[in-house]
Structure 1
Amino acid sequence: MNHDDDATPAWLRPAREELARRQPAAEQDAAVLARLVALQRTQRPRGAPASRDAPGWLRGLAWSGGALGATAALLLCAMLLLDPPGGGSGGQARAATPAGSGFIPLVPEGELRDTLAAGRSAAVWLQPAELPRERLALLGLPFDAARADEPVRAELMLNPSGRVLAVRILN
């Protein structure tokens, strides 16, 4: 093997010289680089959102739609806080049952209060019962869908005509 000053083997020198002839000059490299930079400045970056190119009315429509959705969610939350599901007419009917009795009223406040105030003349009956567990959700109580097939033990408060006034969950 014969080595020159640049330590290139003799059998590679012809390939090296041909490669040097095929490579562009430094001026050509600089011109291509300048063209690429100018092209990148005029085009939108790959990750940039397309909404910058959207007309102003379309952006306004998107903002108003988002504001409308947020307002609807806020109103729904306010309604749930004011009158929770299963609460009938809010917390007023719950106040008609004796404090600490655990009964959840199912009728308007006036009817329940009148029945309880009648005392012995209009007896109130307690009837043991088993309810489907899905009824807990209708009363506004926590409901576990994994145990939906299991019944729930409860007591029903009935007026003399047999109408259910309130329910107490025993499980």
Structure 2
Amino acid sequence: MKKNKKIIIVVGIIITIFVSIILYMISRPMYSFDESILLDNEKEYEQIAKLCYKDYEKNNNGSVNVYLFSDENKIYRVAGEKYNKEYLDIDKDEINAVSIINKTFRIRKQSFNQIDVYENYVSFVPMAFNVSLVYSVDGSKPEYISRPDEIYDGRIYVKKIKGNWYFVSETLSL
């Protein structure tokens, strides 16, 4: 009887440890972000986030607006079914901010790819689309990684970095 009780206790402990490890793993982001990238360059990131959001407010067709950087550090909006480029009118300070973002933005060793703007969120997205750096216009917590129409396997992990800035990543899925 004592032997069976010990076996049940040991099995219970092993199951508890196993479940705890799984719960820990699925509650963590798949990727990490060096917050100093944003904190050291917050002015430039916020400047471009606000610029893209202002353009989104003027040119919103009810879906996600996508912004890309040109080789000349200019910003253009990709619009329409034929992906017409519509350049934003930006000044030297904004060109410099784009250059800084191009040089500093790294998540998973992936460089900057695009900015997605939808409703209240401006998402800086690397080549890997299951993670982003998000500026929330009203400070609310993002409910998706970079856009509401994206599909991913797991849940999302959201970490507030500072002020209106969040790091958002897919979590490990089972």
TM-score (norm 1): 0.27
**TM-score, structure 2 as length reference:** 0.26
Higher relative contact order (CA 8 A, sep 6+): 2
Higher strand share: 2
Between Structure 1 and Structure 2, which shows a larger proportion of helix residues?
1
